[in-house]
Amino acid sequence: MPRKKFRSIRRRKRKGFHGKRPAELRKESGQTTAENVETQLLSTSATSSDSGDLGDTSTSSDKNEEIRENKSAKKLLNSSFIQMAENEPYTTRSVSRALGISKPDLEEAHGFKLQDFSLLDEALTTAAVCSSCRNPKARLLLLQENKKREGLSEKLIIKCNNCEAVTPMSTSRKLGGKGGGAAEVNRRAVMAAMSSGGGHATLQKLCTDLNLPEPVTSNAYQQHLVQIDKSATRTTDKIMCEGAERLKKMLLLKDPNLAKEDVDGAIPCSVTVDGTWQKRGHTSKIGVVFVISVDTGEILDYEIKSLFCRECQKHEGQDKESLPYKSWKKKHDAQCQINHEGSSGAMEKAAAIEMFGRSIETRGLKYTTYVGDGDSDSFISVKKAMEEKYGKRYELKKEDCVGHVQKRMGTALRNYKKEKKGQKLSDGKTAGGQNRLTDEKILKIQGYYGKAIRKHKGDLEGMKQAIWAIFHHSIASSQIDLKEQHKYCPQGTDSWCQYVLDQHHNTSKYSEDQRLPEAFRKELNPIFLRLAKDDLLERCVNGLTQNQNEAVNGQLWNFCPKSRFCGKRRVRIAVCQTVGVFNTGAASKGTIMQQSGIKVLGINMMRGLRIQDRSRLQSAAQKVKLRYAIQRSNIKIKKAKNKKASKDSYVSGGFNETDPQMLQSQGGSKRNIPTTRKRQAKAALQPTDTIGITFVAEAEVEAVASKKRK
């Protein structure tokens, strides 16, 4: 057997160029650079679940199948990275570095650096020589002009100690404009603080911990917000209009006659509508409502409603009839942040009416299907407003979110359990307890109810049959044969019914103990009757959800946390960032920066944005798998099991008592310990003779109680 050729580890294999470049092959095949990036993105989303970062993938193939469409991969095809790639016919090394694709071992320094200036001063002294005197013994001093500092942008001086020649240097470029404009590093710092969910105070703390100079003042910070607000609003409007154009192209491909059939020339489409508030509860000063396409999953429009204006609050104590107040009010009305009258709960209704009313003029779309939660008040108000504006030709129908309808089952069962607390059913036992209607059992029935709706899209009778299959599966009956009770359960090897699985696999894992007693058949029958009505299920036939709205709401309050109050401008910037990231990916942040005056984004920023998009694709590819849905369902059931055990894990004063026998004698309640001690102390001081009355001082009671405590 011939020996393998030996190659020294010190001598690397020479890498030569063989054949044609990938860009040349794409050009010959007619595939553009953007199409190549599109293929790369789709392949990344399809294979990302196989990477080691996403956990063990050694499960069966049925658990790896996708249970819903991965829309994140499609939306990221609209990213600015692809538009940048289209400008170059070949993906050269410089283009790859500019797009953040490659990262060489050694390259020219760029971007901003956190530099210890004492080390920089030592490097200048060692390596540099004054260009004026050329004296090798001269030393270059690095000095800073404190009076000329603008936030994080500093003015430095390189001064020779021999000839005193001075070379000025700045740590940041100017953005241009009046007086040179703001410093680029300050604009970036303000945007970074907002992206992390902080504000001016957060930026100050960060600079303090990093030993950086103080950032811009609060007034300058607000001026930066004004400029960012303008650029973000323009960019977001363009992104939403482009999303509407993509939706129209998709719908016209399916049916070219859609625009001709409509009187107004608009294309009908289905949208989901949901509101979110800046503060939990019904007293929020600011609310945001999004309209999202059902077909593409992109945000088409948004509206912000506000009951608060800081300037109006400052002038609240002034005389409303005075001339200074009237003159101020006249100038302020155009800039006032308040644009809503009424309660916070009415913000969703008012915003939805405005967005539906301008959809034809601004987007060329007619929202004909309203997908919302159980709030029928908003839908009725929108429908009435559209009929008043456009007449009977504007037909609007309601679709309920399956997720919200699914929760109705859990809410109904919990309310029933709460109403029956302390009462006994026909079998002489209460509704709650072991092998009864526990929180775990309620979660299972709620999950079965949601599956019954989702797995029978477009089949109303199939939905009703699947819902009643849950009733017969979950509640025992002595009058009906066991096989007859489970005949409506899903059949096949993927059924959630253990009785059906036992029939297929010839096993005996099914147990009657997992079912509710027969007494619950009469008790829960009205709930199933109400939630299996035709008028409710007809609004769920298409199986539409508001999950995309919930995802947008969560992303919005990551940029602008609910834990701190923010004004309308700050919320609007967060909304614009959310729309850009949700529709086109992280590259939209770079577009907003370019619109706000930062012309050169930098390679480091491009790399970071690409990493964010890549992480999003990997996370989305994992979440659309059946394995993820099963894991999430198991976590919910496990939390329900541990809820009762951890309910009394903390009791005020509970750590003061260590004797378990005393706790048991007192009924196990740690809250009653001080009261019980006082009661025992009074009993110890009372005389055994029943004749006469003895008055015990409170001090004596406390003394005996403290003695028992010791």
Residue 11: pLDDT over 80? no
Residue 645: pLDDT over 70? no
- Model pLDDT, residue 236: 93
Axis-axis angle for helices 200-209, 218-254 (nearest 10): 110
Cα separation, 302 vs 362, in Å, equals 12
Cα separation, 32 vs 13, in Å, equals 33
User: Which residue type sits at 321?
Assistant: E
Cα separation, 22 vs 2, in Å, equals 36
Check residue 597 and give left, alpha or beta (phi > 0: left; psi -120 to 50: alpha): left
Backbone angles phi and psi of 60, in degrees to 5: -70, 160
- Model pLDDT, residue 298: 92
Report how far apart, in Å, the C-alpha atoms of 189 and of each of 169, 195, 231 are: 20, 10, 16
* pLDDT (tens digit per residue) in 160-187: 888 888 889 898 988 887 767 889 999 9
User: Which residue type sits at 391?
Assistant: G
- Model pLDDT, residue 37: 40
Pairing of strands 267-277, 365-372: parallel
Residue 108: pLDDT over 90? no
Q: How confident is the model at residue 376 (pLDDT cuts 50, 70, 90)?
A: low
- Give the residue from 571, 504, 548 showing the smallest Cα distance to 69: 548
What is the pTM assigned to this prediction? 0.75
Beta-carbon contacts of residue 141 (< 8 Å; ≥ 6 apart): 121, 158, 159, 160, 161
Which helix (H) or strand (E) covers residue 536, if one does? helix 534-537
Burial call 36-52: b when 16+ CB within 10 Å, e when fewer: bbbeebbebbeebbeee
* Cβ pair 443, 392 in contact under 8 A: no
| Residues facing 140 on adjacent strands | 160
Between these two residues, 675 and 58, which has the higher pLDDT value? 675
- Give the residue from 479, 579, 555 showing the smallest Cα distance to 241: 579
Q: Kindly report each contact of residues 59-67 with a partner whose C-beta sits within 8 Å and lies 24 or more positions away, as own/partner.
A: 59/627, 62/494, 62/626, 63/625, 63/626, 63/627, 63/630, 64/625, 64/626, 64/627, 65/625, 65/626, 66/624, 66/625, 66/626, 67/624, 67/625, 67/626, 67/629
* Cβ pair 609, 597 in contact under 8 A: no
Q: Could you tell me the two tokens for 631?
A: 């894991």
Q: What 3 state SS string does 636-680 have?
A: HHHHHHHHHHCCCCCCCCHHHCCCHHHHHHCCCCHHHHHHHHHHH
Cα separation, 625 vs 636, in Å, equals 17
Which helix (H) or strand (E) covers residue 313, if one does? helix 310-314
Q: Could you tell me the two tokens for 32?
A: 């553009």
Which helix (H) or strand (E) covers residue 552, if one does? helix 547-559
- Return the percentage of the chain with pLDDT > 70, whole number: 74
Residue 619: pLDDT over 70? yes
Backbone angles phi and psi of 397, in degrees to 5: -120, 160
| Residues facing 602 on adjacent strands | none
Between these two residues, 35 and 464, which has the higher pLDDT value? 464
* pLDDT (tens digit per residue) in 206-238: 999 999 999 999 999 999 999 999 999 999 999
| Section 228-255 average pLDDT | 91
Across all residues in the chain, what is the average pLDDT? 78
CA angle 263, 294, 350 (to 5 degrees): 70
| Section 417-424 average pLDDT | 90
* Cβ pair 364, 244 in contact under 8 A: yes
- Return the percentage of the chain with pLDDT > 90, whole number: 25
> What's the longest Cα–Cα distance across the chain?
116
Residue 684: pLDDT over 60? no
**344: which DSSP letter?**
S
Cα separation, 16 vs 463, in Å, equals 64
| Section 474-503 average pLDDT | 84
Residue 147: pLDDT over 60? yes
- Model pLDDT, residue 92: 52
Between these two residues, 437 and 63, which has the higher pLDDT value? 437
- Model pLDDT, residue 29: 60
Q: How confident is the model at residue 629 (pLDDT cuts 50, 70, 90)?
A: confident
Cα separation, 29 vs 8, in Å, equals 41
Residue 701: pLDDT over 70? no
- Model pLDDT, residue 85: 47
* pLDDT (tens digit per residue) in 259-283: 776 666 789 999 999 999 988 767 8
Q: Could you tell me the two tokens for 228?
A: 């960012």
| Residues facing 167 on adjacent strands | 158
- Give the residue from 623, 616, 611 showing the smallest Cα distance to 547: 623
Between these two residues, 656 and 238, which has the higher pLDDT value? 238
| Section 487-498 average pLDDT | 82
Helices and strands (H and E) in the chain: how many = 30, 8
